[in-house]
Structure 1
Amino acid sequence: MTEPTTYPGPRIVVAQDLPVPADPVFEAWTDEAVLATWWWAGLPDTQHQVCAEVGGDFAVSSQVAGLAGRGRFTRLERPSLLQMAWRWETGEGQAQDDLVTVELREHSHGTLVVLTHEIADADSDTAMRDGWLGALTALAALFPASSERGSGH
């Protein structure tokens, strides 16, 4: 993976508010078994690989869907930040890695997840924005709004 120093392409920013503290959200990104419950969980052949350490791999692929993405963690600050050099391995591929940053901003009612995808290729479009929105929606389904956080139970 080649990590550029600048990202001249478009920037995608998506967010999702979750009714839980940051730590279980961080775990959902860094534990293979938990990741498998939400990232492309509806695709029967999805493979998940996570080595949650700086320099460790993050990979998700589905041959049935023809989708594959791979990252390498460049920063892990539990429970507030994950960052990885990222590339989609489907289609024409990429010459340089993008940068994906997942910020977990804990607040009084839960955690705001802010995902920023900085694209290395200046000629890229933001078509993958819908994919990231779908991923965050699937992540949110792990943490229903009826969470007992702050309910006194």
Structure 2
Amino acid sequence: MSVSVQIKRLAGNEDISLPAQMSELAAGFDLYAAVEADKTLHPGERSLIPTGFAMALPAGYEAQIRPRSGLAYKHGITCLNTPGTIDADYRGEVKVLLVNLGQEPFTIRRNERIAQMVIQVVPAVTLIEVEELSETVRGTGGFGHTGK
């Protein structure tokens, strides 16, 4: 199944690569930094990084913004609010909220790959208020209830 998503390159970003899958079976599209100048993230610092494009997702879809595994592993660079959700009715510039959880400053350069975007189906859901919920073995057991 193939879905078409309209992508609009924003003015002043003609040199920025549009989202791209880096292999034939890649689930995600790599996103590129559209920073005007190099941006250094110091340990513990976060920043909202522009990507230089906007898009129109079809109804019933969302885009999830996720970290790039290599940046996370090698430098401690990851996304906050992961996965970040872009709704089908949003038409503004896609931006990535990066944080440096590493021990060294990390510099983000223009047109550098910074995150990945996965397009997902969002089912139509109706919430129904009830007086009681059905019983399960787990019941109300929450965080850490099964041990380590």
* TM-score where L is the length of structure 2: 0.29
- Higher helix fraction: Structure 1 or Structure 2? 1
* TM-score where L is the length of structure 1: 0.29
Look at both structures and tell me which one has the larger radius of gyration over its CA atoms.
Answer: 2
